[in-house]
Amino acid sequence: MKTEVVLGVTGGIAAYKACEIVRGLRKRGCSVTVVMTRGAEQFVTPVTFQALSGRKAITSLFDLGEADIQHLALARECRLLLIAPATANLLGKLASGIADDFLTTFALAVRSPFLIAPAMNPKMWAHAAVQENVRRLEERGCLFIGPDEGPMAEEAWGVGRLAEPERIVDRALEILGSRRSLAGRQLLVTAGPTRERIDAVRFLSNASSGKMGYAIASAAVRRGADVTLVSGPTSLPDPEGVRVIRVTSAAEMREAVLGALPAATVVVKAAAVSDFAAAAPVDRKVKKNGAPLTLDLVSTPDILKEIAAVKEGRFVVGFAAETEDVVANARKKLLEKGLDLIVANDVSGGAIFGDEEGAVVIVDRQGREERFGPASKHEIAEHLLDMIEARSAA
**pLDDT tens-digit profile of 326-339?**
999 999 999 999 99
Per 3-state DSSP, what percentage of the chain is helix, strand, and coil (rounded to 5)? 35, 25, 40
Mean pLDDT score, 132-159: 85
Q: Which of the four pLDDT bands, split at 50, 70 and 90, describes residue 34?
A: very high
Q: Which of the four pLDDT bands, split at 50, 70 and 90, describes residue 67?
A: very low
Predicted TM-score of the model (pTM): 0.64
Position 37 scores a pLDDT of 95
Determine the Cα–Cα distance for residues 207 and 224; give it in Å rounded to an integer: 31
Give the domains, in start order, of the chain with CATH numbers: 5-176 (3.40.50.1950), 186-392 (3.40.50.10300)
pLDDT tens digits for range 109-120:
888 889 999 999
Position 1 scores a pLDDT of 44
Considering the chain, what percentage of its residues have pLDDT values greater than 90?
62
Is the pLDDT at 156 greater than 90? The verdict is no
Q: Which residues are catalytic?
A: 206
Put residue 300 in one of left, alpha, beta given phi > 0 → left and psi -120 to 50 → alpha: beta
Residue 327, C-beta contacts closer than 8 angstroms, at least 6 positions apart:
344, 361, 363, 369
Mean pLDDT score, 76-93: 94
Determine the Cα–Cα distance for residues 236 and 231; give it in Å rounded to an integer: 10
Determine the Cα–Cα distance for residues 56 and 48; give it in Å rounded to an integer: 10
Position 354 scores a pLDDT of 61
Inter-residue contact 20 to 117 (CB < 8 Å): no
For the ranges 6-10, 47-51, 64-68, which has the lowest average pLDDT?
64-68
